[in-house]
Amino acid sequence: MAYWLLKTEPDKYSYADLAQDGSTVWDGVTNALALKHIRTMLPGDLALIYHTGKERQIMGVAEIISQPYPDPKLNDAKLVVVDIRAVRPVSQPVSLTQIKQDEKFTDFDLLRLPRLSVVPVSEAHWQHLIHLTRIELSQ
């Protein structure tokens, strides 16, 4: 299993929207490195949903539920998407400020590559972030 952080503008599509919808196509990614990450996703991988903009915080956990596939709305096989489903909201949102102040995240790609919309999360970072969100995931 791999872990990810997926960024979204909450005024366009928030974790609450995902929770209400149940599942969605994770689309709109055009950055080459972010697309490379999407191409490596597998069903069962987990992702933290991170609100950008004014919020800048982790709001929920989602599961990747499909293999990557070309975006059906576009005529470009390079632009891939995955389907995700809501798992649960976090009990305690984790802000970007908290992450920046925590020495355990000095090598976290969220901080190293702040414009990247799809960020891989190491096992150690994942476990620490889940601890900070105060949720329990049964996996």
What would the pLDDT profile of 62-78 be if each residue is shown by its tens digit?
999 999 999 999 989 99
Locate 17 and state its tokens.
């929207």
Which stretches in the chain have pLDDT values below 70? 138-139
Locate 31 and state its tokens.
């950055």
Compute the distance between CA of residue 125 and CA of residue 101 in angstroms, rounded to an integer: 14
Domain boundaries, the chain: 3-133
| pLDDT value, residue 27 | 96
Locate 45 and state its tokens.
């991988």
Tell me what the pLDDT averaged over the chain comes to: 96
Nearest to 60 by CA among 139, 138, 129: 129
| pLDDT value, residue 87 | 97
Superfamily of domain 3-133: ph1033 like domains (3.10.590.10)
| pLDDT value, residue 136 | 80
Stretch (H or E) spanning 18:
helix 15-21
Compute the distance between CA of residue 127 and CA of residue 63 in angstroms, rounded to an integer: 16
